[in-house]
Amino acid sequence: MVSISIISLLLLCSAQGLITDENAAWEWFYEYSDEASTLYNRASKISWNYSTNITDYNEQKELEFSEVTKEFSLKVSANASLFDFENFSNSTLKKAFKYLADKGVAVLNDDEFKEYNKLALSLESTYGKATLCDKSGKELFLEPEMTEILATSRDPDRLLWIWKNWRDATGKRMRKDYLRFTELLNKASKANGYEDAGDDWRTGYNVDDPNYNFRDDLERLYRELKPFYKELHTYVKNKLKAFYGEDKFPPTGHIPAHLLGNMWAQTWVNIEEIVMPYAAAQTVNATPAISKLTVNRMFEMSDDFFASLGLNRVTDEFWANSMLEKPTDGRDVVCHASAWDFNDGKDFRIKQCTRRNMEDFVTVHHEMGHIQYYMQYAHLPISFRGGANPGFHEAVGDVLALSVATPEHLKKVDLIDQFSMTNESQINFMMSMALEKIVFLPFGKLMDDYRWAIFDGSITPDNLNAEWWKRRCTYQGISPPVTRTEDDFDPGAKYHIPANVPYVRYFVSFVLQFQFHKALCRAANHVGPLYKCDIYQSQEAGKLLGDMLKLGSSQEWPIALEAITGSKNISADPLVEYFQPLMDWLKEYNKEHGYSGDNWDDSCPTDLPEASSVESAECVVASAATHSTCALLLLLTMLLLVRSFK
């Protein structure tokens, strides 16, 4: 590293002890940024090659390069530690140095480091490669087949078959590896001076104020929003009972997890026809029009929206290098959508197995929001190329999608025919938004609540799956449709667990995005209720958002939040305001139907059908059987041949 010369020089001058000169620190910091950008550019390209083509060769390349990044991390940590950063006057420089002095998993010994990397790749590829085979031998992938069936089938047996077999093909197979993985992760965090890996993960939300406690803030938001979820849960449960029959529902008040239109029951938009308040009134459905677009056109429309706000268009490199559709050449890829920053100021990519429907059109905006953030803060040194906190990064695209999803906007861009807003169609529209936004909240919270409890030792290997279901039943009010045991590991069936992506960022985002939406709507001079606001073509809204994005993580998040909303606090009020008319309607409806107070027990139902009653869908069984049959036949033929030659 070139910068070592600066450091040795300064060290000589200061005789001994830590470097206190903050200007020297900035100088080293900028040099570090250039060197790290080059290195992480190479690392990301290797990682991209693996994710878009899972092969042993590409896995090997990743493992090899992890040795290079390990050496680099250790060198950077040693150099950063030469500075007296704890006493820096600039709080974000202090934070950046703290982060650079942290060795990450490079703190592990050689064998453990290798084991950690192998486990990480194997967990993600187990998830990425998992498929089911139906009776005719047809292979089903999570994307698109299983996702599509969960969303559209109303046959409970078929839903259950997918639901159970996906968990056998993913989580169950990674239980042991995940336990060892978290052990190593925790060990690294502790060696770096954290209480545990959860403490490590939460640093992204910390601020310099000793009175601020992120976990308390989360609990407050959750407490404020829970009554809304309960009201919606009650309503949906009763609609589903009417549709599927009481006998499918446990006496504990839970909703069986396979009936909600989504593999993880994290959003329920796909069952909207079943629960629509006014079946006769108009509903917004852009999917028919979107299904006639190309996937590229879906991304161009999102790009147009950003441009209409005066924000950046994506780069030529984006269009040249992204993977926007699932490859048809039979390659194994990690289909789960993500957005990538290659740290060279121009190469930004999305990898998504995009389907042409409204759900994926929203995901397109979500991922494009990440790309916009990457472009806006590309001028900053690498340590500041991040969201003000991780929740900010998740909120950008979703904020735009709140405008895009309004009937007013969809009409403007020809994705629906003329729409006349009546009171009834307004309630319908808000219901579909609530099935996405309010329903997500308990799930968004429980994912890390669960992992933090593994890290701090309150969940142990013998209750790994039971503790998962305890949270699913308590928070979400959903239940497993068949028995679960400690041979299963159901959290592993959700991408972010094997891929080790923290999740509370999405909970934070789902609250923040309504705060942003409200602030941007005000800047756009919107009049009327929040749920009708479309910020399309507002330069003022674009400027407000863009200026905040340009800060990256160079300022503490309350400052970024204040820049856009005028307040330093995360608040659930705008979310509550957005959905107020629906909530009033739901309370009234539930009261009229005698559903009030119809909640669910804290613990899961006990009398469940046996998991073994569901037919298996394992693909490998068939091929393993074929292999041994072939071997046997070959042996017999050889024996016969030998005999006939005698």
Q: List residues with catalytic annotation.
A: 336-337, 366-367, 370, 394, 496, 506
Q: Contacts with ligand LSW: how many residues (CB under 6 A)?
A: 14
Residues 502-541 that bind ligand LSW (CB under 6 A): 506
Q: Residue 468: which residues within 8 A CB-CB, separation 6 or more? A: 450, 490, 491
Residues 366-385 that bind ligand LSW (CB under 6 A): 366-367, 370
Which class for 248: exposed (0-12), middle (13-18), buried (19 or more C-beta within 10 A)? middle
Q: Are 244 and 259 in contact (CB under 8 A)?
A: yes
Helices 539-549, 358-376: axis angle to 10 degrees equals 60
Which class for 521: exposed (0-12), middle (13-18), buried (19 or more C-beta within 10 A)? buried
252 φ, ψ to 5°? Answer: -80, -5
Residues 388-427 that bind Zn ion (CB under 5 A): 394
Q: Are strands 348-351 and 338-341 parallel, antiparallel or unpaired?
A: antiparallel
Nearer to ligand LSW, 339 or 549 (CB): 339
Whole-number Å distance between alpha carbons of 364 and 367 = 5
Residues 386-415 that bind ligand LSW (CB under 6 A): 394, 398
Taking the complex as a whole, how short is the minimal distance between the CB of residue 338 and ligand LSW, in angstroms? 4
Q: Which residue is nearest to Zn ion (CB)?
A: 394
The pair of three-digit structure tokens given for residue 477, joined into one six-digit string: 């009010």
Whole-number Å distance between alpha carbons of 96 and 186 = 22
Q: Which does 31 bind (CB under 5 to 8 A by kind): ligand LSW, Zn ion, none?
A: none
Whole-number Å distance between alpha carbons of 94 and 76 = 15
Taking the complex as a whole, how short is the minimal distance between the CB of residue 363 and ligand LSW, in angstroms? 4
Beta bridge partner(s), residue 323? 351
Q: Which does 41 bind (CB under 5 to 8 A by kind): ligand LSW, Zn ion, none?
A: none
Taking the complex as a whole, how short is the minimal distance between the CB of residue 398 and Zn ion, in angstroms? 8
Nearer to Zn ion, 394 or 488 (CB): 394
Q: Which one of the spans 90-98, 111-119, 364-372, 535-543 is the region binding ligand LSW (CB under 6 A)?
A: 364-372
Whole-number Å distance between alpha carbons of 598 and 234 = 6
Taking the complex as a whole, how short is the minimal distance between the CB of residue 483 and ligand LSW, in angstroms? 26
Nearer to ligand LSW, 452 or 503 (CB): 503
Residues 68-87 that bind ligand LSW (CB under 6 A): none
Nearer to ligand LSW, 22 or 394 (CB): 394
Q: Which does 363 bind (CB under 5 to 8 A by kind): ligand LSW, Zn ion, none?
A: ligand LSW
Beta bridge partner(s), residue 133? 139
Whole-number Å distance between alpha carbons of 560 and 548 = 6
Q: Contacts with Zn ion: how many residues (CB under 5 A)?
A: 1
Q: Which does 337 bind (CB under 5 to 8 A by kind): Zn ion, ligand LSW, none?
A: ligand LSW
Nearer to Zn ion, 394 or 436 (CB): 394
Q: Concatenated DSSP letters for 273-334?
A: HHH-S-TTS-----HHHHTTS-HHHHHHHHHHHHHHTT-PPPPHHHHHH-B-S--SS-----
Taking the complex as a whole, how short is the minimal distance between the CB of residue 457 and ligand LSW, in angstroms? 26
Residue whose tokens read 């910020």: 535
Taking the complex as a whole, how short is the minimal distance between the CB of residue 506 and ligand LSW, in angstroms? 5
Q: Which does 398 bind (CB under 5 to 8 A by kind): Zn ion, ligand LSW, none?
A: ligand LSW
Give the contact letters, 194-233, x = binds to ligand LSW (CB under 6 A), - = no.
----------------------------------------
Q: Are 455 and 198 in contact (CB under 8 A)?
A: yes
Taking the complex as a whole, how short is the minimal distance between the CB of residue 580 and Zn ion, in angstroms? 27
Whole-number Å distance between alpha carbons of 318 and 172 = 37
Nearer to ligand LSW, 277 or 397 (CB): 397
Taking the complex as a whole, how short is the minimal distance between the CB of residue 553 and ligand LSW, in angstroms? 16
Task: Give 85's DSSP letter.
Answer: G
Nearer to ligand LSW, 24 or 438 (CB): 438
Whole-number Å distance between alpha carbons of 24 and 466 = 53
Q: Which one of the spans 182-190, 278-286, 358-366, 581-589 is the region binding ligand LSW (CB under 6 A)?
A: 358-366
Taking the complex as a whole, how short is the minimal distance between the CB of residue 147 and ligand LSW, in angstroms? 7
363 binds ligand LSW (CB under 6 A): yes
Q: Are 140 and 619 in contact (CB under 8 A)?
A: no
> Which residue in 442, 561, 438 sits closest to 504, CA to CA?
442
200 binds Zn ion (CB under 5 A): no
Taking the complex as a whole, how short is the minimal distance between the CB of residue 366 and Zn ion, in angstroms? 6
Q: Which does 237 bind (CB under 5 to 8 A by kind): Zn ion, ligand LSW, none?
A: none
Whole-number Å distance between alpha carbons of 539 and 524 = 8
Among 501, 559, 576, 608, binds ligand LSW (CB under 6 A): 501
Give the other-Cβ count within 10 Å of 481's Cβ.
Answer: 23
Q: Residue 337: which residues within 8 A CB-CB, separation 6 or more? A: 350, 351, 352, 353, 354, 363, 366, 367
Among 82, 132, 362, 441, binds ligand LSW (CB under 6 A): 362
Helices 504-523, 573-592: axis angle to 10 degrees equals 100
Give the contact letters, 317-346, x = binds to ligand LSW (CB under 6 A), - = no.
-------------------xxxx-------
Beta bridge partner(s), residue 256? 479
165 binds ligand LSW (CB under 6 A): no
Tell me which residues touch Zn ion (CB under 5 A).
Answer: 394
Q: Which residues bind ligand LSW (CB under 6 A)?
A: 336-339, 362-363, 366-367, 370, 394, 398, 499, 501, 506
